[in-house]
Amino acid sequence: MATGLDTAAALWAAVAASGVYHGVNPGMGWPLAVSAALMEPGPYSLWRACLALAMGHLLAMLAMLLPFSTLLLLADWQREIQIGAALLLIAAGVYLLINRRHPRFLARVPPSRLMLWSFLVALAHGAGLMLVPIYLGLCDLAALDAGHAAAGALMGTTLGTALLVALVHTLCMTLSGGAIAWGVYRWLGLRVLSRGWFNLDLFWALSLVAMGALSLALVV
């Protein structure tokens, strides 16, 4: 029992940590919140922008997790589903390592549509894929309580877990990204962006590959 609780705690910590990472990553949008605050002076515009980014990110996480919550009803195929998810994660990381260009369609999204931009950029960068192995691990633990025999209970468990994972992840992402955006807007100014801009795309692609490889090793 203690081992199960420790595993669950570690998985939830990973959900939160990935959210913080996404929030810190400027590619997920916090500079746009700073820009919104500068164009429409006042902290409210910054937090409105953060909320729009958060909603788009949350929808992208759910778009990735909900299909897997349905697949988990196929209890006899759970191992194969986990292997497939790990391979998909590795493939996404390798693709991002090879193709380092940002998708051109993102440039066509007007700055006023932050929620749509956030949704599309999270999908394009495979942000939701990072959560899939963690989510599947949590579902494995939760399914022990729900029981594989009760399809309704299992469905409720997997859907509820998917929603909670997406919410916790997005909350951590919004708090960390919002804190950086507020600090830049309130104290550091735009000079810090021109002098200290950091690009985490390479690290992100390597993280996808590493997470996929670890997930695959644990399943196989």
What pLDDT shows up at residue 149? 47
Residues 6+ apart with CB under 8 A from 27: 121, 125, 199, 200, 201, 204
What pLDDT shows up at residue 38? 82
Angle at 107 between CA 102 and CA 111, to 5 degrees: 130
Q: What is the pLDDT of residues 12-56, one digit of tens each?
A: 999 999 999 999 988 888 888 888 888 887 678 899 999 999 999
CA distances from 172 to 23, 71, 90, 175 (A): 7, 27, 24, 5
Domain segments of the chain: what residues?
A: 2-219
User: If you count them, how many residues does the chain have?
Assistant: 220
What pLDDT shows up at residue 102? 63
Q: What is the pLDDT of residues 136-192, one digit of tens each?
A: 888 777 655 555 445 555 555 678 888 999 999 999 999 999 999 999 888 876 666
Please give the residue that has the higher pLDDT: either 114 or 41.
114
Using pLDDT thresholds of 50, 70 and 90, give the confidence band for residue 78: confident
- Nearest C-alpha neighbor of 118 from the set 170, 62, 36, 52: 52
Task: Report the distance separating Cα 183 and Cα 34, nearest Å.
Answer: 9
Predicted model pTM: 0.85
Could you give the angle at which helices 78-98 and 131-146 cross, rounded to 10 degrees? 170
What pLDDT shows up at residue 1? 47
Q: Give the type of residue at 51.
A: L
What pLDDT shows up at residue 107? 62
Q: Is the pLDDT of residue 8 over 70?
A: yes
